[in-house]
Structure 1
């Protein structure tokens, strides 16, 4: 069937209607079912796509990538540990409250983020918490490990693609565990430390199981599945229940480029008129949002959009006017926002993105190093390098002229503050790594000899101080490795 040649505004209109349709499912079915069970729900959107369908009351989101669950690319991601989710699961244990992560998919009933990435995360964290069960004198008893992994790994086997992959995923669990232990050698202690900080935590048993449950249109929650304790191999386990909600009203959509990507003439559950329904409509909004809308803007103006769409006679020109008005108001507001992240209080080291800082903010630091495109002016305290942008050319230029940056780092006194800012989370991360390795006097960052493993460990430690999802390019990390290791050997 040929592609329907709707214009970009018509597609945008139908995508927003699709998102409201799926939000209606959560509001009227999912939350209503939990209310009847007398269970409070903490709704947490999964980063990017999930943010279109729900907003957490405390602006919490999870960071589970579908790519970590794709066939033959399964993995446990050390850069997206989601420990804030683990903390909330501990908090809600035995409190008649449950955490629910929301996401959606263009092509599947349940996105790979929820069907595979999260179950792998649940299993790996549970293994680390329960490592005493299979560890003898610091060594893994693989027979015991495999028994426990079989018990802890829970997958939605009712989904055909997951059923076909379950054996391969299970086989890789021990590799995920060993690699995580290599790069995060104190991970078990960190998890147990988080457990100990929950002062009101009253776990029934020493062992813990993080137990995922799935709901989606056509599969409702079952209260009987939300158990609080379980038994395995003579051990009692406290069960932390985690609900994974996919919003997609699923119908098989072909990935083939020549086929339509929506369900034609679906009746809207909220507005009762027909529209073209896009599964996972919020995904890749940069491609269809016309630079006018993102999840934050949509959530902040949901009543305006719902009021607009109630009247079917409103045309696309009126929709465009509404979005431009909202966008212009949000843009003026966002220009006043500033976000910096304190990475090391000992050395007063801060991190930022160029879009979120201005001259006044930069001047609050004793030294500011600004890399890439920026309107910030150069002065005695602020050093701007516009040719060191977060693209391949800029990254190469940064490492070619790293001695200039290092001379600035070297003049910092211990009592002074320093800010590293770049366009994304690339060259500012490179600056942090080089600064901590070569110039910091913080005992937490001292190392007699640096190699790829402890550079990776330092990188992961830095990411703990950043409260939003970050992704540092492989080019930057490999370049830092080469630069530091070559300096070690020279």
Structure 2
């Protein structure tokens, strides 16, 4: 057969320009469906459900950060929790010692429980943080703090949600987590007094409330695990502008907008055209920062003189604190200032690597400046107050503080173990509940502390 009668090739049937147009159109429709305006409207819709849940149980609202704060008006938010879904992922179930969440114990005792608010993106009924991480945490604390009340020792999981095998594997790990918690040498008697009674969990989402008739009672505290968003199975374009888990991953869409700024300026944001939102948001955020830039330092108990906070250029060495270590400050700017140590670390993972090389300077600074007068106050800062500064504080409390929190320069010559470092980390996360040192930061600190002393 001649070329004129040949079958057409696949390439000859393609229409590149038309295909590109369709692809661009679909992408444009998806971007429109996921617009900032749609996200903020979806958040408001979900916040109404959250308020209904709180009213039903008569319990206050706690945000599981960072997503949960979008769904709670700051005027009615009583606290924050830091439960991660990764600690509930299948096969990775864990009780995190970087996120002890002990701040919830006195809060639950004060109110009889609370509603913990979170959300998740399209397709899931609830995040793993609510379906597994919090139930594991409750079971561990109930067993550790109330060993005699065995009726509260089981790990309660949402109905018909996990397979029998996964439920069994989670249950088999609880005793190991309890043992690890006990090994931190926390004052469990004090924690029991703070909590008062064991905890029970319930779930509230758009599909069900379970158990249906469980309410706060005299025998236990109730933690209601509330997933704010309606479950969406299909594409966002089919939902008329509604976005499941609209508050999730806000760094990618919010242009710097934060929950407090959103709740304080909802009407302005609603009245702003989509194309003008980035500029308006930038102005609102800048104004909020001008009015709310005081960073409160947190004392690391049981020490009496060691503090941690986010970096604040207004901190005055010699007046507010005797000594300051700034993880990101330029080392060239501290010449002649013996009370300040700037480490010059970069941000994020690069900063964690820099920290490994800087900790010997921290050790020398503390030995020289605090060794002669242990009553002097020391503030450690970084750009977030949660990562590198926590790593530096961890190194300091391991090197220079005794079990009772007293400063002792001779402590720096002792040998270290991972278990000892974990116990000291518990001091930090128990004192400042939002600290979140990265794995890279902790690896740098462990490597430094566990190497043989060079003096």
Fold match (TM-score > 0.5): yes
Is residue 380 of structure 1 aligned with residue 382 of structure 2?
Answer: no
The counterpart of 1:156, out of the listed 155, 158, 161, is 158
The answer (yes or no) to whether the contact 1:348–1:415 under 8 Å persists in 2 is: yes
Partner Cα distance (1:375, 1:449) in 2: 30
Shift of 1:405: 2.7
1:297 correspondence with 2:273: no
What is the CA–CA distance in structure 2 between the aligned matches of 1:191 and 1:441, rounded to whole Å?
21
Q: How many residues align?
A: 419
Alignment partner, residue 4 of structure 1: 27
CA deviation after TM superposition for structure 1 residue 247, in Å: 1.4
**For residue 273 of structure 2, what is the aligned residue in structure 1?**
315
- Which residue of structure 2 lines up, in the alignment, with residue 429 of structure 1? 390
What is the CA-CA distance between 1:423 and the residue it aligns to? Answer: 2.9
Runs of 5+ unmatched residues, structure 2 = 1-21
Are the aligned partners of 1:19 and 1:282 in contact in 2 as well (CA < 8 Å)? yes
**1:70 paired residue number:** 89
Contact 2:317/2:339 (CA < 8 Å) preserved in 1?
A: no
The runs of 5 or more residues in structure 1 that have no matched partner are 134-146, 197-207, 230-237, 254-259, 267-273, 309-313
Q: 1:17 aligns with which of 34, 37, 41?
A: 41
Whole-angstrom CA distance in 2 between matches of 1:83 and 1:346: 18
Shift of 1:318: 4.3
1:112-151 to 2 correspondences below 5 Å:
112-132=128-148
Bigger Rg, structure 1 or 2:
2
- CA distance in 2: counterparts of 1:304 and 1:401, whole angstroms: 46
Counterpart position of 1:30: 53
Match of 2:59, SS? strand
Question: Cα distance, 1:49 vs. partner?
Answer: 0.7
Match of 1:451 in 2: 417
Q: What root-mean-square deviation, in Å, do the aligned CA atoms of Structure 1 and Structure 2 show?
A: 3.2
Deviates more, 1:470-479 or 1:185-194: 185-194
Instruction: Kindly indicate whether residue 381 of structure 2 is the aligned counterpart of residue 400 of structure 1.
Output: no
Structure-2 change in CA distance of 1:317 and 1:243 (3 Å): same
1:340 equivalent to 2:364? Answer: no
Tell whether the 8 Å contact from 2:300 to 2:432 is kept in structure 1 after alignment.
yes
**Match 1:100 to one of 115, 120, 123:** 115
Per-residue deviation at 1:280? 0.6
Does the CA-based 8 Å contact 1:450-1:488 persist in structure 2? no
Q: 1:13 to 1:131 in 2, by over 3 A?
A: same
Distance 1:431 1:212, change over 3 A: same
Query: Structure 1 CA distance, aligned partners of 2:60 and 2:329?
Result: 39
SS at match of 1:115: helix
2:331–2:341 CA contact under 8 A, matched in 1: no
Is the alpha carbon distance of 1:321 and 1:474 closer, same or farther for their aligned partners in structure 2, counting shifts above 3 Å? closer
Question: Following the alignment from structure 2 to structure 1, what is the Cα–Cα distance between the partners of residues 363 and 453?
Answer: 16
Q: CA distance change for structure 1 residues 371 and 365 in 2, over 3 Å: closer, same or farther?
A: same
CA distance in structure 2 between the partners assigned to 1:408 and 1:162 by the alignment: 54
The answer as to 2:438 corresponding to 1:482 is no
The question of whether the paired residues in 2 share the 8 Å contact of 1:65 and 1:117 is answered with: yes
Tell me whether 122-131 or 441-450 shows the greater mean CA deviation: 441-450
Structure 2 counterpart of 1:199: none
Are 2:443 and 1:462 aligned?
no
State the SS of the aligned residue for 2:169.
helix
Contact 2:200–2:220 (CA under 8 A) maintained in structure 1: yes
Using the TM superposition, give the Cα deviation of residue 460 of structure 1 relative to its aligned residue in structure 2, in angstroms.
1.0
Q: Mean Cα displacement is larger for which, 5-14 or 297-306?
A: 5-14
User: Higher strand share goes to which structure?
Assistant: 1
After superposition, what is the alpha-carbon deviation per residue over 1:446-469, rounded to whole angstroms, capped at 9, x for unaligned? 7664311011101111222214x1
2:226 matched residue in structure 1: 245
Distance 1:26 1:439, change over 3 A: closer
- The answer on 1:365 being equivalent to 2:380 is no
Distance 1:489 1:74, change over 3 A: farther
Task: Tell me if the contact between 2:295 and 2:310 (Cα under 8 Å) persists in the aligned partners.
Answer: no
